[in-house]
């Protein structure tokens, strides 16, 4: 059966050009980067070249870029460091963060008695800037603000500069989970008021199991993982050599093609939204589809019926891959914490469709046709 993959916010297929640069480091260039002989020196050079490439693309210093296993480790490191190294005793977050943030802040709140506040959400799912200011102004302790740049389920985009400037005003530490936006938008970190951001290679056609943590040079933190002296004593463990090389190549390709791909993908998303409205009565969209929104994500509300309750299952039977929310919890029965936080309507079923450069209008048409049959 032909399969249609509309779950690119969960993961993306590896680009062949990325695989090609990784392969030599899986075979003949296999040295441990910590070794002093030639095998080690060539792999150490590959890692540092990748770091410089990533730093240049994000307009950061190479010393501010640390390679990790992915977004979850990077978020954990940043949040823990803010509490343990930077004097933050009050965390301000939101109910719609990724679980890598939600579970980390809840753990610190319950185990280390750190105060935790959630900023109010507006009707369209954006955070309420007036309430954020109120929380910061009213806090007696130094705050960590951890708010994601783009929501992985509904696609809402945070005004990262406005939040960063607010944090600066109140001497708060700002971490933004940018897993859905690194590799999808240009960054200028020298001119962005943020202390920590993170990225994951597999969200933009790079390898799984590799990510970055950006730590602003004015911030000094201690490692989350103890052991060896890798990553300038910041992240112990033998480096994921071919993953790092692949991450840098994937980011380079995504940056070169940003204008072309972002327009193509957004046109596809809006075409699907239009087709669904035309052909399926009673649907709606979760999040700020026509406003500040991630161009890869379309979150659709279908009226709840006996047929739509089995919608994801029926799509899968028909070879269509989509998500009920976050892929990290797609096997759970609890439904999406994001949709629960922004919607009071229990009579709708939310499905996330997310797109990449590999998708086509013909695929959209096929999916809409199948949805009409199923519903």
Q: Given the residues 88, 167, 321, 328, select the one marked as catalytic.
A: 328
Give the chain's count of helices (H) and strands (E).
12, 12
Rounded Cα gap, residues 103 and 337, in angstroms: 12
Told to judge if 88 belongs to the known catalytic residues of this protein, a careful annotator would answer no
Structure tokens at 65: 């870029």
Instruction: List the 297-303 sheet strands across, edge first.
Output: 284-285, 297-303, 348-354
Which H helix or E strand runs over 303? strand 297-303
Residue among 92, 106, 151, 107 nearest 342 (CA): 151
Q: Is 238:34 a contact under the CB 8 Å cutoff?
A: yes
- Which H or E run contains 212? strand 211-215
d(CA 170, CA 167): 5
* Angle value at C-alpha 76, between 175 and 88, nearest 5 degrees: 55
Nearest to 171 by CA among 141, 211, 208, 202: 141
Which contiguous run of DSSP H or E holds residue 144?
Answer: strand 142-146
What are the catalytic residues? 328
């Amino acid at each position: 059966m032909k399969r249609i993959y509309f779950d690119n916010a969960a993961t993306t297929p590896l680009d062949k050009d990325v695989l090609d640069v990784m392969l030599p480091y899986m075979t003949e260039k296999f040295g441990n980067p910590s070794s002093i002989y030639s095998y080690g020196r060539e792999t150490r050079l590959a890692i540092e070249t990748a770091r410089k490439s990533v730093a240049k693309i994000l307009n950061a210093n190479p010393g501010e870029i640390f390679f990790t296993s992915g977004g979850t480790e990077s978020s954990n490191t940043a949040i823990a460091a803010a509490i343990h190294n930077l004097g933050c005793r009050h965390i301000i977050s939101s109910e719609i963060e990724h679980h890598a943030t939600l579970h980390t802040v809840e753990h610190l709140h319950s185990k280390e008695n750190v105060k935790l506040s959630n900023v109010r959400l507006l009707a369209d799912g954006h955070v309420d800037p007036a309430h954020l200011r109120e929380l910061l102004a009213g806090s007696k302790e130094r705050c960590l603000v951890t708010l994601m740049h783009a929501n992985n389920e509904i696609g809402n985009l945070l005004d990262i500069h406005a939040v960063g400037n607010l944090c600066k005003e109140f001497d708060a530490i700002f971490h933004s989970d940018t897993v859905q936006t690194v590799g999808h938008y240009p960054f200028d970190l020298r001119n962005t008021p943020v202390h920590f951001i993170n990225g994951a290679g597999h969200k933009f056609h790079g390898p799984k199991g590799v990510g970055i943590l950006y730590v602003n040079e004015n911030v000094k933190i201690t490692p989350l993982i103890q052991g060896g002296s890798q990553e300038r004593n910041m992240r112990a463990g033998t480096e994921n050599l071919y993953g790092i090389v692949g991450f840098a190549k994937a980011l380079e390709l995504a940056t070169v093609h940003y204008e072309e791909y972002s327009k193509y993908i957004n046109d596809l998303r809006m075409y699907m939204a239009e087709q669904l409205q035309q052909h399926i009565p009673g649907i709606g969209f979760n999040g700020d589809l026509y406003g500040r929104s991630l161009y890869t994500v379309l979150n659709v509300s279908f009226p709840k019926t006996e047929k739509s309750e089995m919608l994801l299952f029926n799509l899968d039977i028909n070879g269509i891959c989509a998500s009920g929310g976050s892929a990290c919890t797609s096997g759970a029965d609890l439904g999406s914490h994001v949709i629960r936080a922004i919607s009071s309507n229990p009579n709708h079923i939310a499905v996330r469709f997310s797109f990449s450069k590999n998708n086509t209008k013909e695929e959209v048409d096929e999916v809409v046709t199948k949805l009409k049959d199923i519903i």
